[in-house]
Amino acid sequence: MGRSRRVIIGIAAAGTLAVAPAMVVAPADAATAYKNCDALNVDYPHGVGEPGAVDSTSGTPVTNFTVDQAVYDANESGRDRDKDGIACEQH
């Protein structure tokens, strides 16, 4: 192998090692458990629900809530009073 080819391969390998750490995905943060619905609605104005949830209401259903299973799971207790899969929903 010629010297110039070894130099190019060496530079390419060094570049790959320099870029590789940037491609590592950081672990997901734990979902925040909010103190109450007022606190949750600061970050999620229309509530948060699990995939496939449908607002059960006699009025106009909330359809623009955030779908996030982890956040819902951390906040469903006492926050999803009607058990429709959406916590702290509001228009």
pLDDT of residue 26: 35
Q: Give the residues across from 48 on adjacent strands.
A: 66, 87
User: Degrees (nearest 5) of the Cα angle 66, 37, 85?
Assistant: 45
Per-residue pLDDT of the chain (91 residues; tens, 9 = 90+): 566 656 566 565 555 544 444 444 334 568 999 999 999 999 999 999 999 999 988 788 999 999 999 999 999 888 998 999 999 998 7
Cα 24 to its chain centre, rounded Å, is 17
Q: Give the predicted TM-score (pTM) of the model.
A: 0.65
pLDDT of residue 68: 96
What residue spans define the domains of the chain?
26-87
- CB contact at 8 A, 85 and 58: no
Amino acid, res. 67: V
